[in-house]
Amino acid sequence: MVKITVDGKVLEVDENNNLLEEVLSQGEDLPYFCWHPSMGSVGSCRQCAVIEYANDEDERGRLNMACMTSPREGGRYSIEKAGQFRAQAIESIMINHPHDCPVCEEGGECHLQDMTVMSGHTYRRYEGKKKTHTNQYLGPFINHEMNRCITCYRCVRYYNDYAGGTDFGPQASHDNTYFGRWQEGPLESEFSGNLAEVCPTGVFTDKPFGKQYVRKWDLQTAPSICTGCSVGCNTNPGERYGTLRRVVNRFNDEVNGYFLCDRGRFGTGYVNSDERITVSMTRASSDADPHLASPDEAMSQLHVMAVDAIGIGSPRASMEANFALRDLVGKDNFYAGVSANDLAMGQQILDIYRNRPVNVASIKVIEGSDAVIVLGEDVTNTAARIALALRQSVKNLGKKMARDMKLPDWHDAAVRQLTMDRKSPLFILSPHATRLDDVAANVHISSAEESARIGFAIANAIDSSAPAVKGLSKEEKSLVDTMADALKNAQQPLVVCGTGSFSPALIDAAANIATALQDGDKKANLAMVVPEANSLGLALLMNGSDQSLDQAMSLVADGDAKSAVVLENDLYRRAPADAVDSFVNALDNLAVLDSTQTRTGEAANLVIAAGTFAESSGTFINYEARAQHFYSVFKPKDSIRASVKWLSDQKLSEITAACASSITDCGGMANLTPGEDFNVAGMKVPRQQHRYSGRTAMRADINVHEPKQEQDEDGILSYSMEGVPATRDATVFNTAWSGGWNSNQSVFKFQSHTGGALKQASHGQCLIENNSKTKTWNEIEKDNAPEGDFAVFPLYHLFGSEELTARTPAIQEKATSAYIALNGDDAQKLGLQASDGVALEHNGSVPFIIRSSIKPGTVGVPVGLEGVNFRNLPDGIALEKASSWTAPEKWHAANIIASDRASSEGEA
């Protein structure tokens, strides 16, 4: 720390950071454009100018960019004295700007507007014509309006340098510089949506939001958790007129930081979908005609049925909803709504987190890792935010090189220049090429079983007390040694694995590597990806019980249960279709609570209209066993209720508390919210902004009486404008907004240090504390080699594999229907032509693509895509050319990595 003076004020600041970051951290206002806390400085926009004085006598000083300045002990600076320069900079930046704020989606939350006001530029002196540009079509997510560009280069610095995108860039030069793709077309990065938040003006905006646009202040917002995968990114969704309009990032320094993936940002359109179940329906038997059930009727039928029913929980429902169902049917009658293998893997992971000498890695920790091995988990498609974090981890070598040269690591361009293509090691073992291969030191294509063997061998190479692996080839041995050495020599090694390969052996292998890396107090980091938002929560909730969906099905098959209540779960995604068919047919009563219609729901005789995440509150447990609370964003119509409201008449906080006290390791759930009695001066925290407009007129076309504000019985937020905005406690940080800072950049005002934790913390609570120092090992279990000609491995799609987001129109534009992927030689052997289909056992016929990375004798089958049920397939299958076949309309080869294309054969 050093002491500096800024306009006479003495500040103590960190000399390792740049002056801009430090000055902002002290609460000062200093405008900037090109700088971003997670992307460092390049000094191009010249907006953060300050005067730096050489010594006490110096009266003129010299102009410097704060973002490019290392504060020095005793340094004297002035923000005020550079004010005229900053005003000039804004004035010239604005000469070509269209001043179209009234029709611009950014208006009202525009960093450019804020900075213009802050810099004091009000009167336009430039009288020439403005430059105009042609815009590009950039796909379903992002809108392009180049005329608003101020050439701050943030978009490329984010999209290319930070997120690793390659299909975007700056073009031309001087005042004609253009940012876009070389040919128009959909942006390929899975993280393109962050452009809308990174761009300080309205060049890149949220396209689906633009189609149902309202101003920031007209949105009702609440802190939420993304349900797209098990990472649990923090979000602030916004609603108006009963429809969910958009999702923006909610800063959490340990989890998502500033960025979301596109599934999370753009995947919530299903909340407004026509497929929503808006009323409960009932029928006497499964072949009778359904009729509408009033909420009261539905409620009483459900509770009557539940008396002797089994309950089937869900990894996509909250802890509270699952717990309430468990309570309703009785603990012994509660089954996790996932297969025995899935449940076992969840519990296996919990066991590792609890007992192995490892740290569970948050996204922040992943970003800080300096050697990583990824075992069989295609994180870009199963837990995308982790992939973005891994892309940052490979940059740590460069930062270290910079530090060794006394170059500050915020000096972004210089650090990149120094580093060139050197990277911290990232090793990937996978049955196919992945989107992270471009930053990987080594990609080894191998089946889950082979990867597990190699994983076990790596553990053994690091710590010889780990079980050894016999029969490795010479190449495998040298690969093992390379990886073992790199991991062993790292300061912060990380192992990433998960359930994506459906391989318990792989998970064991990952645990062994992480265990082997433990050395005294130095523990390795481990991240285990699980499939859904609350998968790990569900595993916790089972509390050691092995009551899986398989068990529920055999119970019913044996005639030991006649009724079932299914919570937010489409069983056809969990088990083979014929097994589910027998299950539902054998039941007398089937109640399904869900927000959208599913095949399971179609078989039910009571379908109950459940709220989505946006209309519910509760707790999700992410892949790290981090419990995070989400608040309902808006109150649905009375016929729709949060599942937990249907299942229980207890207050949410009571259910949370009961869950916390009765389930092992869940104690931390009790402290996630400030408590129901939280208020400031007797008032709750408003979900609506003080500037929320038109409240009295919003419904005037229906009724001139202003309706009573909806009440929220559950918590500390109110569905109204009244109240005291959440500045005191960041766990209810439902919008980033501060005086003079109307854009999301204002988040620094809520952080204890710019770019760092929120002042009152909103980390959630990691439930599993692990102080173990005992190394225990898993033994290698040999899987039986799959029968059939082709060993099947799963393929995941960020857009399409997840059930709910796949019902969102913008996601559907990016998604594809089912297909299989195989090696070119195999295709040839099967006599396949590009336009042929392949008959897939139990699944009908699908198109195919050739991916050169795939090994002969293996076939990739997508999980969760329309037109295929992965659960129908055994581990090994036969394939044959389909007779008389035409490709389905929604089929297109999505997400094929260029390097993975053997030829144009098989492309549709």
The one among 46, 154, 687, 763 contacting ligand FES by CB under 6 A: 46
| Residue 875 C-beta: closest distance to another protein, Å | 29
Which residues face 53 on adjacent strands?
76
The one among 37, 43, 267, 862 contacting ligand FES by CB under 6 A: 43
Per CB under 8 A, does 153 bind another protein? Answer: yes
Q: Which helix (H) or strand (E) holds 438?
A: none
Per CB under 6 A, does 65 bind ligand FES? Answer: yes
Q: Closer to another protein by CB, 53 or 213: give it.
A: 53
Q: Closer to ligand FES by CB, 407 or 586: give it.
A: 407
SS (H, E, C) 546-584: CCCHHHHHHHHHCCCCCEEEEECCCHHHCCCHHHHHHHH
Tell me the three state secondary structure of residue 351. helix
Minimal CA–CA distance to 777: which of 501, 561, 478, 514?
514
The one among 67, 358, 466, 517 contacting ligand FES by CB under 6 A: 67
| Residue 899 C-beta: closest distance to another protein, Å | 4
The one among 76, 121, 148, 181 contacting another protein by CB under 8 A: 181
Per CB under 8 A, does 897 bind another protein? Answer: yes
- 243-249 and 280-282 beta bridge pairing: unpaired
Give dist(CA 430, CA 405) in Å, integer: 36
Per CB under 6 A, does 574 bind ligand FES? Answer: no
Per CB under 6 A, does 34 bind ligand FES? Answer: yes
Minimal CA–CA distance to 162: which of 367, 375, 425?
367
| Residue 31 C-beta: closest distance to ligand FES, Å | 8
| Residue 739 C-beta: closest distance to another protein, Å | 26
Per CB under 8 A, does 42 bind another protein? Answer: yes
Helices and strands (H, E) in the chain, number of each type = 26, 38
Per CB under 6 A, does 205 bind ligand FES? Answer: no
| Residue 33 C-beta: closest distance to ligand FES, Å | 5
Interaction partner, residue 32 (another protein, ligand FES, none; CB < 5-8 Å by kind): ligand FES
The one among 134, 417, 464, 664 contacting another protein by CB under 8 A: 417
Interaction partner, residue 95 (ligand FES, another protein, none; CB < 5-8 Å by kind): another protein
Stretch that binds ligand FES, among 27-35, 115-123, 459-467, 723-731 (CB under 6 A): 27-35
Minimal CA–CA distance to 374: which of 440, 424, 456?
440
Interaction partner, residue 169 (ligand FES, another protein, none; CB < 5-8 Å by kind): another protein
Give dist(CA 208, CA 42) in Å, integer: 32
Q: What are phi and psi of 703, to 5 degrees?
A: -155, 135
The one among 419, 671, 709, 852 contacting another protein by CB under 8 A: 419
Give dist(CA 479, CA 487) in Å, integer: 12
Per CB under 6 A, does 736 bind ligand FES? Answer: no
Per CB under 6 A, does 77 bind ligand FES? Answer: no
Which residues face 40 on adjacent strands?
36
Give dist(CA 602, CA 286) in Å, integer: 9
Six-digit token string for 569: 């779960």
The one among 15, 351, 437, 875 contacting another protein by CB under 8 A: 437
The one among 40, 43, 200, 618 contacting another protein by CB under 8 A: 43
Give dist(CA 229, CA 768) in Å, integer: 20
Site for another protein in 57-116 (CB under 8 A): 62-64, 68, 85, 88-89, 92-93, 95-96
DSSP letter assigned to residue 716: S
Interaction partner, residue 67 (another protein, ligand FES, none; CB < 5-8 Å by kind): ligand FES
Torsion of CA 44, 47, 48, 54, to 10 degrees: 80
Six-digit token string for 278: 């808006």
Minimal CA–CA distance to 162: which of 327, 284, 39?
39
Which residues face 112 on adjacent strands?
none
Per CB under 8 A, does 45 bind another protein? Answer: yes
Per CB under 8 A, does 261 bind another protein? Answer: no
Q: Which residues contact 11 (CB under 8 A, 6 or more apart)?
A: 3, 4, 5, 22, 23, 26
Q: Per residue in 682-697, is it b (16+ CB within 10 Å) or e — as a string?
A: eebbbbbbeebeeeee
Stretch that binds ligand FES, among 39-47, 302-310, 652-660, 741-749 (CB under 6 A): 39-47
Reading phi first (left if > 0) and then psi (alpha if -120 to 50, else beta), residue 495 is in beta
The one among 147, 177, 582, 770 contacting another protein by CB under 8 A: 177
Is the separation of the CB atoms in 564 and 247 below 8 Å?
Answer: no
Per CB under 6 A, does 30 bind ligand FES? Answer: no
Applying CB under 6 A, the residues found at the interface with ligand FES are 20, 32-35, 41, 43-48, 65, 67
Applying CB under 8 A, the residues found at the interface with another protein are 42-47, 49, 62-64, 68, 85, 88-89, 92-93, 95-96, 125-128, 151, 153, 164-178, 181-183, 185-186, 188, 405, 407, 411, 413-414, 417-421, 435, 437-438, 895-899, 901
